[in-house]
A and B are shown apart, each in its own frame.
Chain A
Amino acid sequence: MTDDIVQQAIQGDERAFESIYREYFGFVFNVAFRIVSKREEAEEICQEVFMTVYRKISAFRQQSSLKTWIYRITINCALKYSQKKSKQIKGVVEYDETNPIAAPMKDIRDRIDEEENEKVIHKLLGHLYLEQRTCIVLRSIQGLSYKEIADTLRIPINTVRSRIKRAREAMLALRREAAPHEL
C-alpha cells in the first residue's frame, strides 16, 4: 500500500478506497471471523470496519500507519460486536464449505485434516477469554509481532506477553484434560 494511494483515499478518491479494501479485506475478515466465529457476523463486522474507514479516512493524520489504524478499528468493532452479542464460541463450529482458496485442488485426506484442524482451532479459541483470544488470533494466525499487537490494542508489550502466556497455559490445560484425539 503506497503513500500515494493513502493520500488519494484521504482526499476522497473512491478507487483508492477500493484498493485499501482489497489490501485489508483478508485481515479484517479473518480476524473478525476468528473472534466471533460466524461468517455472517464477520461479514457485518467487515462492513462496519470499512464504513468507518470510509467515513473517517479524511481525518486520518497518518500518526500511525494505515495498517495499524485499520487493525485497531477491526479489533474495536469485533470486540464491541462480540460483547454486544455476549456469545460464547464454545462448541459452536461453523465451516466455510466452499473455500475457494483451499478446496478444489486438494485431495480428500487434506480436506479432512483441514476440517479437523478447524475444529481444534475453534475449540481452543473458544476456551479463551476474549482479550486472550484476540492476542492469539493476532499473533498465531495473523502473524503480528508483539510490538504490532501492543500498538493495535494500545496496551503495553508486557501485557501482550502475559495475555499470550496465559492463553497458551489455558490451551495446554485443555489439552491435558482432553484426550489428544479430541483436540
Chain B
Amino acid sequence: MNCKEIQELILTDYLDGEIHQGKKGLLESHLASCRDCKEFFVLAQQTTVEPFMKAKKYDRSRAVVWARLQEDIQNEKKDTPECQQEFGLIERWKKIIFFPEPVFVWGVFAVLVVLFFLLSASVKQPYLVNQNQGQDQNQIKQEVLVASKETADQDEYLAYYFNEEDTTDYGTSVEQYFL
C-alpha cells in the first residue's frame, strides 16, 4: 500500500477500529517506517476523533420532554374514535351529512362534466340540425319564388345557388312561370 491508500484507511477504518487484522498489520508496519503518515495519523486523531470522544452527554431535558409527551398523549387519547363516540348522535349525523372536502370537490366536478356533455350534445344533435336546415331551405324557396317573379335575371343565379337535389322541389314552379 502507498501513502495515499494508507491515509485513506487511517481516516476511516483505522481510526474507527473497523480495519481487518491483516490490513491493520500492514498499516502499522507502514506507520513505523513512514514519518509523514505517522504525523498524518496523529493529526487526524487529535482533530477528528478526540474532541468527540470527550463530548458532553446531555440529560437535563429528560423530565421536561416526558411531561410534554404525557400531555400530548392525553390530548391524542381525547381525539381517538373511542372518545369521539361519547358525543353520540350529533357527531354521527355530522359524519353522514358532511363529506370530506375532496369528495365534495370531485362531486361538483363530476356534475359539471355531465352538464357540459348534455349541453353540447343537445346543440349538436344531427337530426335537429337537419330539421333546422330543412326549415331554412323552405323559407329560402318561398323567398326565391317571390323574387323570381320580380326579376327574371336572377333565375340563372338561383339555379346555380341550389344544388340538383334541391331544385327538384322548387324548379317546377319556376319553370311553370316561364312556360
A binding-site residues for B, Cβ under 8 Å: 14, 18, 21-22, 25-26, 29-30, 33-34, 39, 42-43, 46-47, 50-51, 54-55, 96, 98-102, 114, 117-118, 120-121, 124, 136, 139-141, 145-146, 161, 164-165, 167-169, 171-172, 175, 183
Contact = CB atoms under 8 A, between A and B. Distances in A.
A96 B65 contact: no
Contacts of A145: 18
Contact of A100 (B53, B59, B68, B69): B59
B4 to A, nearest CB: 12
Contacts of B58: 29-30, 33, 39, 42, 96, 99
A34 B51 CA distance: 13
Main secondary structure of the interface of A (DSSP, over half): helix
A101 B57 contact: yes
Interface residues of B, number: 32
Nearest to B65: A46
Contacts of B65: 25, 29, 43, 46-47, 50
A141 B66 contact: no
A145 B47 CA distance: 20
A170 to B, nearest CB: 9
8 contacts: A26-B59, A96-B58, A98-B60, A100-B59, A100-B60, A114-B54, A141-B52, A168-B12
B49 interface: yes
A169 B48 CA distance: 9
Given A43-B61, A175-B43, A96 B56 contact: yes
B59 A171 contact: no
B44 interface: yes
Given A26-B57, A164-B12, A172-B43, 11 more contacts: A25-B59, A30-B58, A39-B61, A42-B61, A51-B72, A98-B60, A99-B60, A121-B55, A161-B13, A167-B48, A168-B48
A154 B72 CA distance: 30
A33 B60 CA distance: 12
